Structure 1
């Protein structure tokens, strides 16, 4: 995974790139003759990553695990360390124990002037990007969620997991369970809906309704007024479509749907007003009683 960031001006910008070894900061050369350099700020070591115990901490908070899957690294909050790995390594003096240096510069000097500048740039990126912090401690959101689920499985192991799964699923010879017993298979229905694009076109929801209790009636006269009680004779019969279109601004077919429903109601009312159709002379109900 690589992530590149840039800081400062257009002419002399420092580049920050996430690489497998850690965070690489490319410092440009200065106008005063100062040479540019590449500084590698190392990520967490395996021992440091194990000491953080992020999978165990996430597994103890099921809601946090759900937020991690939905929101990503930003849901972890204070579980991520406040200091970057190169600072933690320097505080623990891991270099004295034979571990790789927390930061290394391409100039080859152990204590050059590039390191403080690169560390300041790296710490600014660390503070503003939760995904970068999680990656530098050795995790991706999906991998951390899998490790947390593995902690759950280890806490409550099954003696025969495969047999338990088959018993729960019913086995290959078990009859297929259906809520209605008929109709298309769920997978076929989902495939048809996806092919038609309906899975990506949700219907109106509560936030689509643009109405307020204190909002003035913007289409026509206010309800309850004297003029509102008088029917309008200069329009077609049926409900007005404008208020419905204003009520559901995100639903383009609201007014058209209302017109279709109103037209069908008028047709049905006309059929009922005309009475039942005349019966044929030879029908059983049309016999003349003597």
Structure 2
């Protein structure tokens, strides 16, 4: 007769995998059940820097990681050195032939394969730390003209993060939900109804302060605006029904 598989609660934190016997909340017993503590080696500073640098240089790999796809280079170069140390595992049950440790290792390995970001947390690099470092690296590559405003915006995000989610958490959630490149909820509810072609040239705001390093910026913006307006009117006219076009000709 096969023994029923024991249920347990699994907890994965930096440096440790913990598991303990699932207790029935209706039980009145006070005796503690079994508990397994399984250590895991942590990343060295140079290994952390290597991982961050890779994801900073390759946004597509970062996006894949957020979708639970572990890059091959990370699996080959980092994973073997940072596997849970089964030989150092301890179980509170005290049995010489303890079966809890192998069961916990098997469950943990499956969990970590399904969630690579959780594995990074286990070896000492949480999702929030990784994303914050990557986004900071991207900000440092911005042109000088935009650097001050980016630093101010980042400072505001960090200040706000003291009382709520960090910038990395917000961006991570947005990336996982596919919202980094999607318009807002009300975007498709906006509609324009142009019944007559505006007279005169389109009004052009002064873009020179915004683009100080672009030569003849006003002329470039004016040309783009005029060409875009002409194309938009051409497309709009082509979509009008025959009756509307007859009225326009009259």
Structure with the higher helix share, 1 or 2: 2
Q: TM-score, normalised by structure 2?
A: 0.43
Q: TM-score, normalised by structure 1?
A: 0.38
